[in-house]
Structure 1
Amino acid sequence: MHVVATAGHVDHGKSTVVQRLTGMQPDRLAEEKARGLTIDLGFAWTDLGEGETLAFVDVPGHERFVPNMLAGVGPVPAVMFVVAADEGWMPQSAEHLAAVDALGVRHGLLVVTKADRADPASATQEALDRIAATSLGAVPAVAVSGRTGVGFPFLRTELAALADRLPAPEQDADVRLWIDRAFTVRGAGTVVTGTLAAGTLRIGDVLTIAGTGETVRVRGLQALGSDVTEARAVSRVAVNLRGTDRGRVGRGDALLTPGAWPYSGELDVRLRGDESAALHRELVLHVGSAAVGVRVRPLGTDTARLTLARPLPVRVGDVGLLRDPGQHRVAAGVDVLDVDPPRLGRRGAARARAGELDGAGPADLSRMLVRRRGYVRAAELRAAGLPEIGGRVGDWLVNEERWAELAGRAEHVVGDWYARDPVTGGMPAEAVRRELGLPAADLLARVLADTGLELSDGVVRRAGAGLPPEVEEPVRVLESWFAREPFRAPEADELAELRLGPRELAAAVRLGRLTRIADGVVLGPDAVARAAEALRALGEPFTVSQARRALDTTRRVAVPLLERLDANGVTVRHPDGSRTCL
Structure 2
Amino acid sequence: MRPDRRRPGAAGRRPGRRRPDRRDPAVHVIATAGHVDHGKSTLVRALTGMEPDRLSEEQRRGMTIDLGYAWTTLPGGDTVAFVDVPGHQRFVTTMLAGVGPVPAVLFVVASDEGWNVQSTEHLDALDALQVSRGVLALTRADLGDVELAEAEARDHLAGTALADMEAVGVSAVTGAGVDDLRFALDRLVTRLPARVDGRVRLWVDRVFSVRGAGTVVTGTLTAGTITVGDELQVHPSGARVRVRGIESLKRTVDRVHGVARVALNLRGVSAEALHRGDALAAPGGWADVDVLDVRLSRAARPPTELVFHLGSAAVPAHVRPLGEDTARLTLARPLPTAIGERGVLRDPGAQQVVAAATVLDPMPPPLTRRGAARRRADELAGVGPVPDASGEVARRGAVRREDLVRAGVRMSGAPPGAVAVAGWLIDDGRWQQWRERLGPAADAWAAAHPMLPALPRRTAVDALALPDPALLEPLVGQTDLVLDASGVARPGQRASLPEALERALAQVLVRLAADPFAAPEAPDLAAVGLDDRALAVAVRQCRLVELAPGVLLRPEALDEAVRRLTGLPQPFAMTDARQVLRTTRRVAVPLLEHLDRSGRTVRVDSRLRRVAES
Structure 1 length normalisation: TM-score?
Answer: 0.75
Q: Does 1:135 align with 2:161?
A: yes
Equivalents in 1 of 2:152, 2:60: separation in Å?
31
Out of 407, 410, 419, which is 1:392 matched to? 419
Q: Which residue of 1 aligns with 2:31?
A: 5
Equivalents in 1 of 2:493, 2:342: separation in Å?
60
| Count of residues paired in the alignment | 483
Unaligned runs of 5+ in 1: 471-492, 494-498, 506-554, 558-582
**Structure 1 residues 390 and 169, CA gap change in structure 2 (3 angstroms):** farther
**Structure 1 residues 326 and 468, CA gap change in structure 2 (3 angstroms):** closer
- Secondary structure of the 2:151 match is helix
CA displacement at 1:61 relative to structure 2: 0.5
Q: Which residue of 2 aligns with 1:205?
A: 230
Equivalents in 2 of 1:350, 1:6: separation in Å?
40
Q: Which residue of 2 aligns with 1:251?
A: 276
Q: Does 1:401 align with 2:429?
A: yes
Q: How does 1:333-372 map to 2 (within 5 A)?
A: 333-361=356-384, 370-371=393-394
Unaligned runs of 5+ in 2: 1-26, 498-515, 517-535, 543-596, 600-614
**Structure 1 residues 179 and 419, CA gap change in structure 2 (3 angstroms):** same
Q: How does 1:88-487 map to 2 (within 5 A)?
A: 88-167=114-193, 169-171=195-197, 173-273=198-298, 277-361=300-384, 370-371=393-394, 373-386=396-409, 388=415, 390-394=417-421, 395-415=423-443, 418=446, 432-433=460-461, 436-440=464-468, 443-448=471-476, 451-455=479-483, 460-463=488-491, 465=492
Equivalents in 2 of 1:313, 1:83: separation in Å?
34
Contact 2:228 2:243 in 1 (8 A): yes
**Structure 1 residues 90 and 364, CA gap change in structure 2 (3 angstroms):** closer
Q: Which amino acid aligns with 2:417?
A: G
Equivalents in 2 of 1:442, 1:297: separation in Å?
35
Contact 1:132 1:139 in 2 (8 A): no
Q: Which residue of 1 aligns with 2:22?
A: none
CA displacement at 1:175 relative to structure 2: 1.2
Out of 64, 79, 82, which is 1:53 matched to? 79
**Structure 1 residues 140 and 459, CA gap change in structure 2 (3 angstroms):** same
CA displacement at 1:209 relative to structure 2: 1.0
Contact 2:133 2:188 in 1 (8 A): yes
Contact 1:190 1:241 in 2 (8 A): yes
Once the two structures are superposed, what CA deviation does each residue of 1:250-309 show, in whole Å capped at 9, x if it has no partner?
101111221121222112111114xx5142111111111110111112222222111111
Structure 2 length normalisation: TM-score?
Answer: 0.72
Contact 2:38 2:110 in 1 (8 A): no
Q: Which residue of 2 aligns with 1:514?
A: none
Q: How does 1:459-538 map to 2 (within 5 A)?
A: 460-463=488-491, 465=492, 503=540
Query: RMSD across aligned C-alpha pairs, in angstroms?
Result: 3.2
Contact 2:387 2:409 in 1 (8 A): no
CA displacement at 1:154 relative to structure 2: 1.3
CA displacement at 1:77 relative to structure 2: 0.3
CA displacement at 1:314 relative to structure 2: 0.9
Q: Which residue of 2 aligns with 1:35?
A: 61
Bigger Cα displacement from structure 2, 387-396 vs 157-166: 387-396
State the identity %: 52
Equivalents in 2 of 1:202, 1:60: separation in Å?
31
Once the two structures are superposed, what CA deviation does each residue of 1:297-334 show, in whole Å capped at 9, x if it has no partner?
22222221111111111111011111111111111111
Contact 1:337 1:365 in 2 (8 A): no
Q: Which residue of 1 aligns with 2:507?
A: none
Equivalents in 1 of 2:448, 2:124: separation in Å?
68
Contact 2:75 2:182 in 1 (8 A): no
Equivalents in 1 of 2:346, 2:150: separation in Å?
27
Contact 1:12 1:37 in 2 (8 A): no
**Structure 1 residues 65 and 389, CA gap change in structure 2 (3 angstroms):** farther
- Secondary structure of the 1:410 match is helix
Equivalents in 2 of 1:350, 1:391: separation in Å?
27
- Secondary structure of the 1:227 match is strand
Q: How does 1:548-563 map to 2 (within 5 A)?
A: none
Q: Which amino acid aligns with 2:419?
A: R
**Structure 1 residues 30 and 431, CA gap change in structure 2 (3 angstroms):** same
Q: Which amino acid aligns with 1:196?
A: L
- Secondary structure of the 1:105 match is coil
Once the two structures are superposed, what CA deviation does each residue of 1:337-391 show, in whole Å capped at 9, x if it has no partner?
1112223333333223222222422589766754565321122112112355631
Q: Which amino acid aligns with 1:231?
A: V
Q: Which amino acid aligns with 2:418?
A: G
- Secondary structure of the 2:162 match is coil
Contact 1:424 1:504 in 2 (8 A): no
